Chains A and B, each alone.
Chain A
Amino acid sequence: MTPRLQLRGISKSYPGVLANDDISLSVLPGEIHAVLGENGAGKSTLMKIIYGATPADGGQILCDGREVPEHGPAVSRELGIEMVYQHFALFESITVVENIALSMPGRMDLKGLAVKVREVSEKYGLPIDPDRLVLSLSVGERQRVEIVRCLLRQPKLLILDEPTSVLTPQAVRKLFETLRKLSDEGCSILYISHKLDEVRELCHSATVLRGGRVTGETDPRTTTSADLARMMVGSDLPEMLLQPSELSTAPLLSVDNLNMASESHVGTSLTSIRLEAYGGEIVGIAGVSGNGQGELAAAISGERIASAAEDIVLEGRPVGHLDAGRRRDLGLGFVPEERLGRGAVPPYELSENALLTAHRKGMVKHGMADRNKARDFTMQVIDKYSVKAHGPDAKAHGLSGGNLQKFIMGREIELSPKVLLVSQPTWGVDVGAAAYVRQTLIDLSRSGRAVIVISEELEELFEICDRLYVISNGALSQSLNRSETNVEEIGLLMAATGSRDQDAEQRAEDMKYAV
């Protein structure tokens, strides 16, 4: 059978990053093909190239055996390639059918179109009322509108970018039914995800990406989650850069039986989290994204307040009831994964951003902010942490990801925290800055502080951590020593609990099967 879509040696680089490196894959008619990979693995870039939204630097795209010479979204439409983006492009203040009409060629015929929308939505089990205003629709319903919009053009290849990240488990079931029906009719589907259980349930074949390269091509129905996880996070781990160090006698931070309900239906609830971090070590928290990392970071930092004071203990003092500012006063530093808008205020100057947390270093006198002190502090951070910025009055959103991360890390470390929690320290950070950030964390831990790193990059965790925990489905594993564990064990822990509605017994079953 001629493949519906074939990629040969696709490459694409952005300044400082090779987003796609010699990627080849092929999708048969009616096949549901998964593209698996962690954040930053190059999935989204690849999809944009296939859809024609971004030109590739090199390589060939073949559709039904014919090469696509000059690609673009208009060409895609002619070829029958449609894409449902992760972020919807709908106008809220007009109705569903009006939104769809905007993307249809030819004259606008709202009545006729509404009839067609009803037909398609009933046929594929995507109930949607064409006359409703988009602003009254839930996220799941909006996604249906996007899918219906694509289906109206009778696509031959449908691309879905992380479609379930915004859906409840029930909505995921419905979506899968629709996709299977489409596949039975011969429509090929490219399904981008990092959720192993979904891919194993839905897809016929999978291409796994890591760091912009293909690291595996398998049939996910017969591959274990552990194997898929390994392909995603890599197995060739670097040597540890760490020297052993003296640990503090008592943990600087301990979390004891922390439970926290999720704030929204797409979040993850935390259950019985137990964690300890001693001075002099780096503790890593591994896991596939969306398993409660964000919630855990917010609970420890104090952005969300845990139920009881004793749930979180900092240097022997219960802090579970205190907000982020009070915890910082007591020596808990935090560097969040979102640098713009959370770790820093985007339109503010660096010196104004210094004030955000470093105001406790004598920058406030009689209620007034001391701008000179804030400037001096900022200069010091810029120098000491080699932040590339034109000065303390550079706006935070003008800095590159790596430089802003250096600034935020520097700011937090200069507050001399006893415990530093860092979430995704090297997301969107170029290679040089990433190495610098990791070394800074190592140095900090070796000076007697406790460092906790939440990361989805297993390589990174193995490089810098003394101990590891694995988070999955809102629960934390036992502590694992870096020197005594291996990728297989971690992959199992990550994968075994990867599914949302599996209970503990089933997890144990999985473990036996995989071993």
Chain B
Amino acid sequence: MLFKVEARQEPSRKMALAAPLIATGLTVVISSLFFLSLGLNPFVTLYTFFVQPLTTMNGISEWLLKASPLILIACGLAVAFRANVWNIGAEGQLIMGAIAAAGVGLFSPFQESIFLLPLMVVCGMLAGAAWAAIPAFLKARMNTNEILVTLMLTYVATLILSYLVHGPWRDPDGFNFPQTALLPYAGMFEVFDYSYRLNTSIFFTVVAVILAWLFMERSFLGYKMAVGGVAPAAARFAGFKSSSSIWVGLLVSGATAGLAGMTEVSGPLGQLSSQISPGYGFAAIIVAFIGRLNAFGIVLGGLLLSLLYLGGETVQLSLGLPSSIALIFQGMLLFFLLASNFLINFRIRAIAVRAH
């Protein structure tokens, strides 16, 4: 018996729905074996991973708080990825957005003004977009590889942040910790309840999801960019410019990443420090692909990844598992999810072997 992988004529709708279920099933089975081999009760472990984090209000608040920047960034990335523009440096754009927003919040003359927060939003988005404009310019003019440039600029952004919080922007009253002073109250998003950290910046994410859906599924510019991604020769035939795809893709994804950075400093962080993101910019790439570059799929992907973060912490705290085990589990689920997407466009068929 041999197996043959064949491209499907049309992507299978049934498989599109079944793929996440297959992936979840495989993860549950394999991880149960894995937990058993470690002497853990798989039911308890899986419950602790997936359900326990959501049993408290605080857990739900944290879940949404972490999902929000992931979804926001992934929406921007999906716009770029659909056009085959590979922005891998959302993390750097997030950091630049956070720096610009914090700079405005700390040093602008509008400390008490109600316009401080909107100004920070605008500056955060502009800074993220500006950071992404560098690879866009290099790609459109000199055809450099945007994967490399965006990735390397992430390290540059990290170093700029580190310089600022260790040097000129360090809080003089902060006991020499590498962090800035706290942002003024006018520069912070309102929380829904003082017991929890979830804040009003989540509305930006809701709006971003709707705008991303409209742009990708309904707008003509989104259509042009997608054609450039699926069939570049058809885009040339129609006269759609690839340089505008590069610019729009990078600027939009840079702006959303910058906004995500801004919502972090004006939300749960309240100040700049040398560690402002647990890798949201990179995790959002996974979210974009789990969501199959679809705005609503991205919402589910973001919620899932956020839950994995929380579940990882919960098993460490309540079961005393090492963090590496949580990471293995997360990796397994993501691997199966992305791998089973393969079945949407391909099928595996058994073929009979002819004897000679």
User: Which residues of chain A have a CB within 8 Å of any CB of chain B?
Assistant: 74, 301-303, 323-328, 334, 336, 338, 341-348, 352, 355-357, 359, 364, 367-369, 371, 395, 397-398
Contact = CB atoms under 8 A, between A and B. Distances in A.
B238 A367 contact: no
Given A324-B237, A367-B221, 10 more contacts: A323-B241, A324-B236, A325-B238, A334-B237, A338-B233, A341-B233, A345-B227, A355-B223, A357-B238, A364-B220
Contact of A369 (B220, B230, B234, B238): B220
B231 interface: yes
Contacts of A344: 234
Nearest to B227: A345
A325 B234 CA distance: 11
B219 A368 contact: yes
Nearest to A326: B239
B311 to A, nearest CB: 36
B10 A395 contact: yes
A325 B230 CA distance: 18
Q: Give 9 nearest A-B pairs by CB, closest first.
A: A325-B239, A324-B239, A342-B233, A364-B220, A323-B239, A345-B231, A303-B236, A369-B220, A356-B238
26 contacts: A302-B239, A303-B236, A324-B238, A325-B238, A328-B238, A328-B239, A341-B231, A342-B231, A342-B237, A345-B230, A345-B234, A346-B230, A346-B231, A347-B11, A355-B220, A355-B223, A356-B227, A359-B220, A367-B219, A368-B214, A368-B218, A368-B220, A369-B219, A369-B223, A371-B218, A398-B9
Interface residues of B, number: 21
B220 A341 contact: no
B356 interface: yes
Nearest to B217: A369
Given A367-B219, A369-B220, A347 B237 contact: no
A410 to B, nearest CB: 16
A367 B220 CA distance: 6
Interface string B228-253: 00110110111111000000000000
Contacts of B239: 302, 323-328
Nearest to B222: A369
A326 B219 CA distance: 20
**Which of A325, A326, A327, A352 has the most chain B CB within a 10 Å cutoff?**
A325
Contacts of B233: 338, 341-342
A402 to B, nearest CB: 18
Contacts of A336: 237
A341 B220 CA distance: 19
Contacts of A343: 234, 237
Given A328-B239, A367-B221, A368-B219, A342 B230 contact: no
Contacts of A328: 238-239
Contacts of B218: 368-369, 371
Interface string B1-39: 000000001110000000000000000000000000000
Nearest to B356: A74
Contact of A301 (B220, B230, B234, B237): B237
Contacts of A323: 239, 241
A343 B237 CA distance: 7
A227 B85 CA distance: 52
A453 to B, nearest CB: 18
Nearest to B233: A342
A342 B234 contact: yes
Nearest to B9: A398
Contacts of A369: 218-220, 223
Interface in B175-222: 214, 218-221
B223 A303 contact: no
A343 B233 CA distance: 8
A368 B221 CA distance: 8
Contacts of B214: 368
B94 to A, nearest CB: 28
Nearest to A325: B239
Nearest to A329: B239
Contacts of B219: 367-369
Nearest to A364: B220
A302 to B, nearest CB: 7
Nearest to A340: B231
A74 B356 CA distance: 9
B228 to A, nearest CB: 10
Between B9, B214, B234, the greatest number of chain A beta carbons within 10 A of the residue's beta carbon is seen for B234
A392 to B, nearest CB: 16
A367 B223 CA distance: 10
B139 to A, nearest CB: 19
Contacts of B236: 303, 324, 342
Contacts of A371: 218
A398 B10 contact: yes
A80 B148 CA distance: 49
Nearest to A343: B237
Nearest to A346: B231
A345 B230 CA distance: 7
A314 to B, nearest CB: 14
Contacts of B237: 301, 303, 324, 334, 336, 342-343, 356-357
Contact of B230 (A74, A348, A368, A395): A348
A334 B240 CA distance: 15
B355 to A, nearest CB: 11
A344 B231 CA distance: 8
Contacts of A355: 220, 223
Nearest to A302: B239
Contacts of A303: 236-237
Nearest to A75: B356
B107 to A, nearest CB: 37
B233 to A, nearest CB: 4
B226 to A, nearest CB: 9
A454 to B, nearest CB: 15
Contacts of A346: 230-231
B252 to A, nearest CB: 14
Contacts of B241: 323
A356 to B, nearest CB: 5
A347 B9 CA distance: 9
Given A368-B218, A398-B9, A341 B234 contact: yes
Contacts of B10: 395, 398
Nearest to A344: B234
A356 B214 CA distance: 19
Contacts of A334: 237
A352 B224 CA distance: 11
A301 B227 CA distance: 18
A398 B9 CA distance: 8
Nearest to A395: B10
A271 B135 CA distance: 37
A302 B236 CA distance: 8
Contacts of A368: 214, 218-220
Contacts of B9: 397-398
Contacts of A367: 219-221
